[in-house]
Structure 1
Amino acid sequence: MRFLKFFLWSCVAVFCGLLLSLSGAFLYLSPNLPSVDSLRSIQLQIPLRVYSSDDKLIAEYGEMRRSPIAFDEIPKDFIAALLAAEDDNFANHYGVEVSSLMRAATQLLKTGQIQTGGSTITMQVAKNYFLTSERSFSRKINEILLALQIERELSKNEILELYVNKIYLGNRAYGIEAAAQVYYGKPIGELTLAQMAMIAGLPKAPSAFNPLANPARSKERRDWILGRMHRLGSIDQPRYEQALAEPVDATYHGASPELDAPYIAEMARAEMVGRYGSAAYTDGFRVYTTASSTRQVAANEALAAGLVEYDRRHGYRGPEAHLKDQDTWREELDKFRNQSGLLPAVVTQTGAEQITVMLRDGAEWPVSWDSMKWARAHLGTNSLGPVPRRPDDVVKVGDVVRVRIEGDTASFSQIPLAQAALVSLDPLDGSIEALTGGFSFAQSNYNRAIQAKRQPGSSFKPFIYAAALDAGYTPATLVNDSPIVFEDSLDRVWRPKNDNNTFLGPIRLREALYKSRNLVSIRLLQTLGIPYTIDYIERFGFRPEDLPPNLSLALGTATLTPMEIATGWTAFANGGYKIEPYLIERIDDRNGETIYRANPARVPAPDDADQGPTEAEVSTFAQQDAPLETSGVPEEAPRYAEQIIDERTAYIMTSMLQDVIKRGTGRRALEMGRADIAGKTGTTNESKDSWFSGYNADVVTTVWAGFDQPQSLGRHEYGGTVALPIWMHYMSDVLEGTPEHAPPEPSGILTLRIDPESGRAAPPGTPNAYFEVFRTEDTPPAMGELEPGTTAPGSPLPQSESAPMDLF
């Protein structure tokens, strides 16, 4: 009896001791426990996603790939698989499973090491949301206490929803929806029973049971879970056997963009980081850009095709590498990245009419000799080797080359050294409809469309001509295209010349523009005055520090980006209004609520033209670049763009630039068969930069092409041979099937018959007379109306051509 009493009292003492210890631990730890209420408003890390205007995914940024789903969206089969794998008594316990904890304690006592934690799903929620992965008794006690609190305050469904959205499942996938996309490329609701069981087996050890890294072990885990589901009655025998027979078919599905627009994505990412800092990567923002997927695809294809076409004209520079050991060919090919559809391949065989190449996946493709005939050896920018006669003259076995796969055909190619950029804007509001900053983002993430400052050459001349028109010149004004020599105070001499070193004498302004006569542009700038002209050109959005304050400005020696040129050109297309380019149309938060919607200054519609912007609106334009950023606020009133040049000047400039297409340096664009397009080529000294800017009333597009480190594109390469074909390719795709739409004729325009020799109104019977457009106040006099010694309105004032000037 004494022993029995001693034993009973000992048990009571131990029980009381444990009770006191647990109570003390609870009292000590509970004040430091976080509030379970915070789980209801927890903000899971969700990556930043960038979309096109038509909802095509462009890019995803963020370390954690996650797509939270509600409990109602979780398939019942997956819940059954998860509970079978992790916590089959989940529906009955109160957050803690005593038997599981005792089993874990027994294993610890037997082995001296922690084998399992004995955690329920509720305890894992507590750990994942509030605690660390540290293995310690204090953390486990905290985990138990939190689990008990969670069970008291949340429903089982809420706990499961928190769990499936938080758990890490390997390969940057957090949550079951992201895992389904990563491993199977489908939503969780579209997976088979076997696939769901595979994902349900990942929480225990995402690396050990990963179906990509260890298919055999992951299948064992999957089959074990299916067996438990069968024993627990979750699935019947036929479904169990069918799921067991299903092979492991998981493959990696990265965050594959639906639209290839990496330069646009990077611009959107940078703007989001500027707005929200590091939270941009974790707060689940969905950014919708103004870029159209169809126009972006057209831009990508046009730029790549144009650069490849130019590159082929200058010959084949040889293989990128030569591989000797056939056993390592595929491994070595992994070092070469795909670039704009050009795939790395190794030559495995050469023949009389074709070669055979092997891609990185081991597939072999025949490449026809017809696709290789262009590959004369590149000897220099202006020289090529002999014409090859057979494939052996171009490549040999082991050469690493580039091929383009189109359908079931592989063609021979190489990565161009030259670069290009394309910017396409809506002239009515400045939205960026397509943009590409180089041949391949994988090759270089340098965005030439917004970062490369280059000389625009003659594509800048329209701004000089617009200044002249607003100063009273007309398209019929005669300006002398003759030699001119300037000498400055340091006895430096400048003898500017035209591209072909010829001179046409007195020439009408319209003809001078479409023939791109340099000396006419210089004389215009000289007569207008450099200060006036720079002040005028600044209206188009150019910064004064980028505009050289000397006569070379007339030849396009300013340093400007393609985006700046395209923005300036929109004023010709929209009737003389200044717009600001913008990329982000709207931003949605993680809940799909719009928290930002762009409200750019727009060109007034015809029925708004009588209103226009008030002085107060114009003065506040610069302050309104950050539109509404609060959810649920009604649409803002439209903002009107500032008119910077006379709408009649813009109309006349369009007429003159249409002649560049019809009879000038842009004649190649006549192949498009459209009468509504206007544009201008640009080529700098030694053909280091080639440009083409053009438009109709719906879209303005600028293309630049050249080398990153300025060097000549070639002796016979100009804006019309390099940049213009890219522009044509893009604009043909964009305008296909659309009616012609030129800017409308404004009021205050008069059309007169003009004598081409004098630029004056032509009397009946004048030979070769033509119709010209004028502003009503600038119409020229008729023949014989001027007295000797006077000049027609807008004609340049007489100046000494040898007067010293500060030119350089």
Structure 2
Amino acid sequence: MAFSSIYLYLKPGLPSVESLRDIRLQTPLRIYSRDMKLIGEFGEKRRSPITIDQTPEMFINAILAAEDDGFYSHSGVSIKGLMRAARQLIASGSIQSGGSTLTMQVARNFFLSREQRFIRKFNEILLSLQIEQELSKDEILALYINKIFLGNRAYGFQAAAQVYYGKDINDLNLAQWAMMAGLPKAPSTYNPIANPSRALVRRNWILKRMLDLGHIDQDEYKNSITAPVSARFHGRDLDLSAPYVAEMARKEAVDLFGDAAYTDGYQIITTVDSGLQDAARKALQHGLETYDGRHGYRGPEQRLDVELLADNDQLVDLLKEIPVLGGLEPAVVTAVNPQSLMVQLRDRRVVEIAWENGLSSIRPYISENARGARLTSAEEMFAPGDVVRLRRIVISAEQIAAEQKAAQEAALASAAEALADTNITEDPFSTPEGLEQGEPAEAPEDREEWHLTQVPAAQGALVSLEPEDGAIRALVGGYDFRQSHFNRVTQAARQPGSSFKPFIYAAAVENGYTAASIINDAPIIFEQTNLEDVWRPENDGGTFLGPTRLRKALYMSRNMVSIRLLQALGLDRALSYTEGFGFDRSKLDRNLSIALGTSALTPLEMVRGYAAFANGGFRVEPYLLDQVLDVHGDTVYQALPLTVCRDCPLPGEAPTSEAEPIDLQSVRHEAAASANEEEPLELRTLPVAPLSADEQARPRAPRAMQAETAFIMDSMLKDVVKLGTGRKALTMKRGDIAGKTGTTNGPRDAWFSGYSPYLATSTWVGFDDNTPIGRNEYGGSAALPIWIDFMSAALDGLPERHLPQPEDIVTTRINPRTGMRTSRGGIFEIFRANRVPSRETYSNYPSIYSDGPSNPSNSDSQSQESVPEELF
């Protein structure tokens, strides 16, 4: 009667057990690259739900031996366990154990608190009875395995296996399973990391229980109880370092799903390629470190009190608080010698920095334009207590062996030459004295060296996307995310300088100009109504070339030509045209200075514009999230980006070709297989394959410029690499790369935006506070090397690929001085068929001073009528 009364009193307030079937375990948001490399995890609770079928049987036996060996025989409540708990309460006067079954623990974990009150215990018992009626034993056990808290933010045994052992639950051994099974009783008390001795006792007790219950034999028991405690903390290991990408994806996930993004187990699959992302990170860090090295050593990061050197524990703790940035380890100088430093690392090791490992090349930083003299002694710059940065370099055994062999061969050659000079006649088949090989040397081992360096003060950005649909393949928003979370790819609006000029030139080509049009590269002054407000733009170096072809003006980056070109086009026409590339017209200055790239734009906006040059004239929109899966693996979001489709059929029509889209991996294999062909594959023009049926369903990318304009601009931008400010990229030995440098006044910003038909990439270097980067720094010296490093890795193994030539494009010979068609000498130039210039005659010559477009007619009888503009 008492039990019934309690049941009738408590039952109305009990939650519905049916809700357990639909319960959502809090699972963190996980972000992956396109090839499923983990790049980020966000959420308060670490959890990786698994099913009973995915759980090892021996591990289930360990859980049951530790918590509830009668689980499969009772009906949710163990009378024996409750009686034992009652006896302990009576004997001790306090609650020692609750006598809970696994079912009762599930009831408590999902519905109740852990407070030790009798009313809670009664609720737990009643709920357990209901759970057993509604759910199967395997369903209850699965809830327990995935819900239980096991310390270190781990919820569920799969997550705990990752935290304590860095493995999946299926990859653990018997001793580790028993250790895991001991955690639910008291995750803090039996934690193998925080309290290994007590955890060991608990583990061995569980192993003995498993032996007594017949789950393991005597040999398994003996081998397991002697196994050492191997648990240590494993933070969730990321497969790929892409924190700026992960943060962008996190924000987009929250925009899509709100706060549920952190708890509902969504999996974000981004467009980022793991190989390209890693290459981008390395290229940017190396480029910034190289730039920084050209401007001198700024000295130690900080100076610690010398007295701290005596307290090794405190010193190590201080070093551990300093983050590793860009792979550069912090260290403390413990002793200074004239030609070396002794430094202590965070792992308590003391290593020597040799003079040749970064000390001999040090020149103190004075300003961005000046450095001091080289050090003659380390004592001039360093003192005990200085915090410095080191880069660990491992020299492989193979490299050491090669160096030893080269040194030995040089020594033998030198000794042989010395003996030859003595004119001693000996047996030609004998080994000269002193050249005996001796005993073979032991095989060398890898050697570790530490080099002195520093964290760059300058910052940078790199972003690369697929020209065909705008998929972001690599993105690095700064030197190191731990140094600054500010994403310079999307948030840093800076002046692009001359890298903006191609958009003005494209507008000109679209509106009647040709690559051979002549524009006067001469001084120009703009006076406002206020006499003090005068703008005198200049070319870099202060020189002027006079009448200059458009093609040459672009690859030589002549400012005066760009300004006169924009002036002739008109601001409204030029600004309207740039909108087709995706630029926000409201962000562009409404004056002629935009021809020099004075409007602030982000690297992401710039690379979107350059993608149109790479894909033949189409505007695409950059996107990062490709697909979102829910906790069950079902697709809940699929990107539908604007996609280039040159030969898509109209709705209802069949595709014009059954060819599949080009796959970069297969192209690489094709290139390797054809290495012995007479015609190198890299010299062919590869046609662009039609899109697959799924890709044809995507919205079509609109045109930013006509195909003919895109082809001409592509040719002109390739000359920037072949003949102009981008010549450093010739080291790549590719004919399908193009782009434009950019350097702003100061100089304060260095840019290179460029592409191949495979990828469009923009790089930027500068200071966050907009201070000058140095008078001898340019886009070609600071930003272009980063672009080269990245694109060399990205295009490795890929054959050259060029835009298809439109039918309306023709090639003719011109006089490079006048831009007119000629039949003798000259150079070849490409034109639209209806814009081939007139044949050269004396009457044509004055037209070379015109600021207007060349005569579009190809008639020899017509002459261009224009008033020559004075050169100076």
Q: Secondary structure in 2 aligned to 1:643?
A: coil
Q: Secondary structure in 2 aligned to 1:507?
A: strand
Contact in 2 for aligned 1:425/1:432 (Cα 8 Å): yes
Match of 2:806 among 746, 750, 754: 746
Q: Secondary structure in 2 aligned to 1:473?
A: coil
Q: How many Å separate the matches in 2 of 1:801 and 1:121?
A: 95
Q: CA deviation at 1:634?
A: 8.6
Match of 2:491 among 435, 440, 451: 451
- Greater shift in the superposed pair: 688-697 or 327-336: 327-336
Q: Does 1:523 align with 2:548?
A: no
Match of 2:279 in 1: 298
Matched ranges for 1:218-229 at <5 A: 218-229=199-210
Q: How many Å separate the matches in 2 of 1:613 and 1:798?
A: 55
Match of 1:736 among 784, 796, 804: 796
Match of 1:374 in 2: 361
* TM-score normalised by the chain length of structure 1: 0.91
Match of 2:711 in 1: 651
Q: CA deviation at 1:740?
A: 1.0
Match of 1:332 among 318, 336, 345: 318
Residue deviations 1:418-464 (CA, integer Å, cap 9, x gap): 00000101100100000000000000010000000000000000001
Matched ranges for 1:695-734 at <5 A: 695-734=755-794
Contact in 1 for aligned 2:617/2:703 (Cα 8 Å): yes
Q: Secondary structure in 1 aligned to 2:185?
A: coil
Q: Secondary structure in 1 aligned to 2:30?
A: strand
Q: CA deviation at 1:504?
A: 0.7
> Which amino acid is the alignment partner of residue 320 of structure 2?
D
> Which amino acid is the alignment partner of residue 134 of structure 1?
E
Q: How many Å separate the matches in 2 of 1:98 and 1:201?
A: 23
Residue deviations 1:664-704 (CA, integer Å, cap 9, x gap): 11111111111111011000001100000111111100001
Match of 1:16 in 2: none
Contact in 1 for aligned 2:476/2:489 (Cα 8 Å): yes
- Greater shift in the superposed pair: 711-720 or 156-165: 156-165
> Which amino acid is the alignment partner of residue 380 of structure 1?
S
> Which amino acid is the alignment partner of residue 440 of structure 1?
D
Matched ranges for 1:657-806 at <5 A: 657-764=717-824, 766=825, 769-784=826-841, 792-793=854-855
Match of 1:98 among 76, 79, 82: 79
Match of 1:214 among 195, 211, 236: 195
Matched ranges for 1:571-610 at <5 A: 571-605=612-646, 607-608=647-648
Q: Does 1:405 align with 2:392?
A: yes
Matched ranges for 1:262-301 at <5 A: 262-301=243-282
Contact in 2 for aligned 1:345/1:358 (Cα 8 Å): yes
Q: 1:335 to 1:443 in 2, by over 3 A?
A: same
Q: CA deviation at 1:798?
A: 6.0
- Greater shift in the superposed pair: 318-327 or 329-338: 318-327
Contact in 2 for aligned 1:599/1:636 (Cα 8 Å): no
Q: Secondary structure in 2 aligned to 1:578?
A: coil
Match of 2:297 in 1: 316
Q: CA deviation at 1:545?
A: 1.6
Contact in 2 for aligned 1:52/1:292 (Cα 8 Å): yes
Q: CA deviation at 1:585?
A: 1.3
Matched ranges for 1:468-483 at <5 A: 468-483=508-523
Q: Does 1:557 align with 2:602?
A: no
Q: CA deviation at 1:200?
A: 0.7
Contact in 2 for aligned 1:356/1:365 (Cα 8 Å): yes
Q: 1:447 to 1:89 in 2, by over 3 A?
A: same
Q: 1:151 to 1:584 in 2, by over 3 A?
A: same
Q: Does 1:384 align with 2:371?
A: yes
Match of 1:85 in 2: 66
* TM-score normalised by the chain length of structure 2: 0.84
Q: Does 1:254 align with 2:316?
A: no
Q: 1:798 to 1:211 in 2, by over 3 A?
A: farther
Match of 2:329 in 1: 343
Match of 1:621 in 2: none
- Greater shift in the superposed pair: 678-687 or 129-138: 129-138
Q: How many Å separate the matches in 2 of 1:796 and 1:568?
A: 36
- Greater shift in the superposed pair: 155-164 or 722-731: 155-164
The alignment of Structure 1 onto Structure 2 pairs a total of residues equal to 760
Contact in 1 for aligned 2:645/2:696 (Cα 8 Å): no
> Which amino acid is the alignment partner of residue 248 of structure 2?
M
Q: Secondary structure in 1 aligned to 2:734?
A: coil
Match of 2:550 in 1: 509
Contact in 1 for aligned 2:464/2:607 (Cα 8 Å): yes
> Which amino acid is the alignment partner of residue 4 of structure 2?
S
Q: How many Å separate the matches in 2 of 1:149 and 1:207?
A: 31
Residue deviations 1:562-583 (CA, integer Å, cap 9, x gap): 0000001111111110100111
Gaps of 5+ in 2: 395-447, 654-692, 857-863
Contact in 2 for aligned 1:367/1:412 (Cα 8 Å): yes
Residue deviations 1:237-269 (CA, integer Å, cap 9, x gap): 211111111111111111111100000001111
Q: 1:502 to 1:641 in 2, by over 3 A?
A: same
Q: How many Å separate the matches in 1 of 2:745 and 2:95?
A: 75
Match of 2:122 among 107, 128, 141: 141
Q: How many Å separate the matches in 1 of 2:632 and 2:868?
A: 69
Q: Secondary structure in 2 aligned to 1:341?
A: coil
Q: Secondary structure in 2 aligned to 1:690?
A: strand
Q: How many Å separate the matches in 2 of 1:206 and 1:547?
A: 60
Q: CA deviation at 1:118?
A: 1.6
> Which amino acid is the alignment partner of residue 318 of structure 2?
E
Q: CA deviation at 1:785?
A: 8.3
Q: 1:650 to 1:796 in 2, by over 3 A?
A: farther
> Which amino acid is the alignment partner of residue 658 of structure 1?
K
What RMSD in Å do the two structures reach over aligned CA positions?
2.1
Q: How many Å separate the matches in 2 of 1:295 and 1:612?
A: 36
Q: How many Å separate the matches in 2 of 1:329 and 1:688?
A: 39
Residue deviations 1:307-336 (CA, integer Å, cap 9, x gap): 000001111111112232221321210121
- Greater shift in the superposed pair: 345-354 or 288-297: 345-354
Q: How many Å separate the matches in 1 of 2:694 and 2:618?
A: 27
Q: 1:799 to 1:363 in 2, by over 3 A?
A: farther
Q: How many Å separate the matches in 1 of 2:215 and 2:522?
A: 93
Q: CA deviation at 1:552?
A: 0.7
Q: How many Å separate the matches in 2 of 1:33 and 1:695?
A: 65
Match of 2:505 in 1: 465
Residue deviations 1:3-59 (CA, integer Å, cap 9, x gap): xxxxxxxxxxxxxxxx2x322222222223222222222211111111111111101
Contact in 2 for aligned 1:613/1:640 (Cα 8 Å): no
- Greater shift in the superposed pair: 103-112 or 393-402: 103-112
Q: How many Å separate the matches in 2 of 1:398 and 1:128?
A: 52
Q: How many Å separate the matches in 2 of 1:785 and 1:471?
A: 27
Q: Percent identity?
A: 52
Q: 1:662 to 1:27 in 2, by over 3 A?
A: same
Q: CA deviation at 1:97?
A: 1.1
Q: 1:147 to 1:553 in 2, by over 3 A?
A: same
Q: Secondary structure in 1 aligned to 2:746?
A: helix
Match of 2:464 in 1: 424
Contact in 2 for aligned 1:263/1:436 (Cα 8 Å): yes
> Which amino acid is the alignment partner of residue 346 of structure 2?
R
Match of 1:125 in 2: 106
Matched ranges for 1:536-555 at <5 A: 536-555=577-596
Match of 2:575 among 523, 529, 534: 534
> Which amino acid is the alignment partner of residue 340 of structure 1?
G
Contact in 2 for aligned 1:485/1:801 (Cα 8 Å): no
Q: How many Å separate the matches in 2 of 1:160 and 1:770?
A: 81
- Greater shift in the superposed pair: 200-209 or 87-96: 87-96
Q: How many Å separate the matches in 2 of 1:641 and 1:635?
A: 12
Match of 1:495 in 2: 536
- Greater shift in the superposed pair: 223-232 or 496-505: 223-232
- Greater shift in the superposed pair: 135-144 or 283-292: 135-144
Q: 1:126 to 1:24 in 2, by over 3 A?
A: same
Residue deviations 1:144-170 (CA, integer Å, cap 9, x gap): 111011112222222111101100000
Contact in 2 for aligned 1:347/1:355 (Cα 8 Å): yes
Contact in 2 for aligned 1:429/1:600 (Cα 8 Å): yes
